[in-house]
């Protein structure tokens, strides 16, 4: 695709929409001021996460699939708020040996 040029009104016209800037921050792309970010992310490739931060959709889904907290032993526990570290089980064989 050829690089879009500014029109007579000083804006970029891309796919029937008007943008003041071609490149901008994620926030500018999200608000419609700029067409894309320096990393070539357009609005359809961005999303707002639950902390209201603008993130890449692809990266967000990849990170969710990783389940890093669960791999390090943190799980949700019924009746508790947030993640709880899963405790390691004691060996049953050692209990039997101690009773004798």
User: In this predicted model, what pLDDT tens digit does every residue of 28-70 receive, in sequence order?
Assistant: 999 999 999 999 999 999 999 999 999 999 999 999 999 998 8
Instruction: Confirm whether 5 is domain-assigned.
Output: no
Q: Which two tokens stand for residue 44?
A: 């359809």
Q: How many domains, in total, are found in the chain?
A: 1
Range of the domain at 53: 12-99
* 42 DSSP assignment: B
Per this entry, what is the length of the chain? Answer: 100
Instruction: Confirm whether 52 is domain-assigned.
Output: yes
Tell whether the model's pLDDT for residue 100 goes beyond 80.
Answer: no
Instruction: Confirm whether 67 is domain-assigned.
Output: yes
Confidence of residue 3 (pLDDT cuts 50, 70, 90): very high
87 vs 44, higher pLDDT: 44
Tell whether the model's pLDDT for residue 97 goes beyond 80.
Answer: no
Instruction: Confirm whether 1 is domain-assigned.
Output: no
d(CA 97, CA 52): 55
pTM of the entire predicted model: 0.74
Instruction: Confirm whether 55 is domain-assigned.
Output: yes
Instruction: Confirm whether 56 is domain-assigned.
Output: yes
DSSP helix, strand, coil percent of the chain (3-state; round to 5): 30, 25, 45
Instruction: Confirm whether 89 is domain-assigned.
Output: yes
Instruction: Confirm whether 7 is domain-assigned.
Output: no
């Amino acid at each position: 695709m050829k690089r879009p040029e500014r029109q007579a009104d000083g804006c970029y016209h891309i796919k029937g929409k008007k943008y003041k800037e071609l490149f901008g921050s994620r926030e500018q792309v999200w608000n419609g001021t700029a067409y894309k970010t320096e990393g070539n992310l357009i609005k359809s490739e961005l999303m707002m996460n639950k902390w209201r931060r603008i993130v890449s959709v692809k990266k967000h889904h990849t990170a969710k699939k990783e389940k890093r907290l669960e791999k390090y032993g943190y799980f949700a526990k019924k009746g508790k708020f947030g993640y709880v570290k899963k405790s390691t089980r004691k060996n049953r064989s050692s209990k039997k040996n101690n009773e004798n």
